[in-house]
């Protein structure tokens, strides 16, 4: 007997709240255009986090010229986000529902867990940074940062964070477009106040190729690769006939341009602020005291905006896991969990350590997954049977009791390859990294090993699936 995951849905709830989750988006609801993705991603990426990423890159011991080179090369990875936004319009559903085609309905759940943990981690990072910014504003006003204030800020931030994800897809896209204007204005003012202090010759004379490779892995992970699992959650409202070139192009421009500008400015600020620039509040040393309040207030709004993408994606990922929750219920559940995790991060004084370990976790699973996801899409000739993606039992993607073992084996091989080439000093130094004096090949080994393994292990079966799927599509009236 074929089963379909029953999730209560509605096209819109009260006050225009979207209730559609992972269920198929019919053609008459495909309101978006590829250019909408430009505005959404630009509004999200014009964010103080990317200033900090540029400053953190300088702490690797790079010269300013090396940092700019790595920023330019590493941000080319936004092409991956464009490519992983092409399946949504074809399948009409979210990333980890489409992922059932690669891993099987049951096999995909493990990857959905990884993704949910990743989204919750990013949400927690964002809320924690919002709380830290709020505490900085309180301190600037002479208010003591006691336990009561910290708890109040965590609760308030968690409640406010609910708003955009609660309303859903269309409101998120349109809000981020509107917020892009104040974000750009803040960036211009920040640059004007700080660039005169930049001294590109006052920092490191340069690093070896091993350190440059480690910096490149950091930038790739915090830019395009780190967002690949979100792409189709936002492109699924595009018509099936949307131009693939337009989707990739608009996504790339909306992410590459702001990311390069912000990371470049962050690296420049680090030339005179040094290690103090590697935090959201430390960046305040780049300008006069009068700009602190505007800077942190806009930064807080920015963090809420980018967090909305993660919270929305984590909600639909919970549904893809098989939990019988509406999208609204999933958003509420995620918010509560993020609030609790933020409390731990703030009160344990271990935020930076937790963040570093979290980034390492992302590299190990996302790099192999991205390769498998894209190769599967190509092997099945860029076609999906929409009805079968919604099924938890039966259908063309069910295979061996719900598992596609070729994908799971390739994922494991890719993760092992990534771990064998990872440099996470002082937490962990892999054999390959140790043998090459600290080089980090983890991103590249994860992608290459998983991609090659999946191609050779799954090519015949996926090609057969594609033929069966095409037959089903052809038989439709």
Query: Cβ distance 335 to 418 under 8 Å?
Result: no
Q: How far apart are CA 116 and CA 341, in angstroms?
A: 14
Per-residue model confidence as pLDDT tens digits over 167-180: 888 888 888 988 89
Query: What are the distances in angstroms from CA 419 to CA 224, 300, 370, 416, 457?
Result: 20, 35, 16, 5, 21
Q: Which residues contact 129 (CB under 8 A, 6 or more apart)?
A: 49, 280, 303
- For the chain, which residues make up each domain, given as ranges? 3-367
The CA distance from 93 to 232, in Å, is 7
429: enclosing H helix or E strand:
strand 428-429
C-alpha 368, offset from chain centre: 15
Q: What is the pLDDT along the chain (477 residues), one digit of tens a residue?
A: 333 333 334 344 445 677 788 999 999 999 899 999 999 999 999 988 899 899 989 988 899 999 999 999 999 999 999 999 999 999 999 999 999 999 999 999 999 999 999 999 889 888 998 999 999 999 989 998 899 999 999 999 999 998 888 888 888 888 898 889 989 998 999 999 988 888 877 666 678 999 999 999 999 999 999 999 999 999 999 999 999 999 999 999 999 999 999 999 999 998 888 766 667 777 877 888 889 899 999 999 989 988 999 999 999 999 999 888 888 888 899 999 999 999 988 888 666 666 666 777 788 999 999 999 999 999 999 999 999 999 989 888 998 899 999 999 999 999 999 999 998 877 788 999 999 998 999 999 999 999 999 999 999 999 888 787 677 666 665
Buried b (16+ CB within 10 A) or exposed e, 270-292: bbbbbebbbbbbbbbebbeeebb
**CB of 239 closer than 8 Å to CB of 30:** yes
Please tell me the predicted confidence (pLDDT) of residue 331: 87
Backbone angles phi, psi at 424, to 5 degrees: -120, 40
Q: What angle do CA 112, 459, 94 make, to 5 degrees?
A: 30
pLDDT computed for residue 204 by the predictor: 63
Give the model's pLDDT for residue 202: 66
178's CB contacts (< 8 A; 6+ apart) are 43
Q: Is 451:419 a contact under the CB 8 Å cutoff? A: no
Say if residues 468 and 398 touch (Cβ distance below 8 Å).
Answer: no
User: Could you read off the pLDDT of 222-252 as tens digits, one per residue?
Assistant: 999 999 999 999 999 999 999 999 999 999 9
* Partners of 424 in the β-ladder: 428
User: DSSP letter at 27?
Assistant: G
Q: What is the DSSP string of 451-476?
A: HHHHHHHHHHHHHHHHHHHHHHHHH-
CA-atom Rg of the chain in angstroms? 22
> Which CATH number is 3-367 given?
1.10.4160.10
The tokens for 78 are 């936004």
Q: What is the pLDDT of residue 54?
A: 93
The pairing of beta strand 423-424 with beta strand 3-4: unpaired
């Amino acid at each position: 007997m074929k089963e379909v995951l029953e999730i209560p849905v509605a096209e819109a709830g009260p006050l225009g709240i979207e209730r559609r989750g992972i269920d198929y988006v019919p053609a008459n609801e495909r309101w978006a255009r590829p250019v909408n993705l430009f505005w959404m991603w630009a509004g999200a990426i014009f964010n103080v986090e990317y200033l900090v990423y540029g400053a953190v890159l300088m702490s690797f011991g790079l010269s300013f010229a090396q940092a700019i080179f790595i920023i330019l090369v590493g941000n080319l990875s936004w092409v991956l986000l464009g490519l992983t936004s092409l399946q949504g319009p074809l399948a009409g559903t979210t990333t980890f529902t489409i992922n059932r085609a690669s891993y099987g309905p049951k096999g995909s759940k493990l990857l959905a867990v990884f993704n949910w943990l990743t989204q919750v981690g990013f949400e927690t990072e964002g809320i924690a940074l919002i709380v830290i910014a709020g505490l900085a504003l309180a301190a600037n006003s002479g208010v003591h940062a006691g336990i009561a204030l910290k708890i109040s800020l965590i609760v308030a931030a968690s409640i406010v964070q609910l708003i955009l994800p609660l309303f859903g897809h269309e409101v998120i896209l349109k809000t981020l477009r509107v917020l892009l204007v104040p974000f750009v204005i803040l960036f211009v003012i920040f640059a004007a106040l700080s660039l005169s202090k930049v001294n590109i010759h006052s920092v490191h004379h340069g690093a070896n190729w091993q350190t440059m490779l480690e910096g490149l892995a950091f930038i790739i992970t915090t830019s395009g690769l780190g967002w690949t699992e979100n792409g189709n959650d936002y492109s699924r409202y595009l018509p099936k006939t949307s131009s693939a070139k337009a989707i990739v192009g608009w996504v790339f421009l909306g992410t590459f341009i702001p990311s390069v500008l912000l990371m470049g400015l962050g690296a420049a600020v680090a030339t005179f602020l040094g290690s103090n620039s590697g935090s959201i509040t430390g960046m305040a040393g780049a300008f006069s005291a009068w700009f602190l309040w505007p800077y942190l207030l806009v930064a807080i709004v920015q963090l809420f905006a980018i967090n909305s993408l993660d919270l929305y994606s984590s909600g639909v990922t919970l549904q893809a896991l098989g939990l019988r929750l509406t999208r609204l219920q999933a958003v509420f559940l995620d918010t509560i969990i993020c609030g609790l995790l933020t409390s731990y991060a703030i009160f344990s004084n271990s935020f930076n350590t937790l963040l570093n370990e979290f980034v390492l976790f992302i590299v190990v699973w996302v790099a192999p997954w991205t390769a498998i996801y894209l190769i599967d899409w190509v092997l099945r000739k860029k076609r999906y049977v929409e009805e079968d993606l919604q099924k938890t039992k039966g259908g063309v993607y069910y295979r061996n009791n719900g598992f596609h073992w070729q994908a799971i084996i390739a994922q494991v091989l890719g993760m092992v390859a990534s771990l064998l080439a990872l440099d996470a000093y002082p937490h962990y130094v892999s054999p390959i990294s140790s043998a090459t004096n600290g080089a980090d090949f983890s991103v590249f080994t994860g992608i290459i090993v998983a991609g090659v393994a999946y191609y050779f292990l799954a090519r015949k079966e996926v090609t057969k699936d594609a033929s069966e799927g095409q037959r089903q599509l052809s038989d439709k009236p």
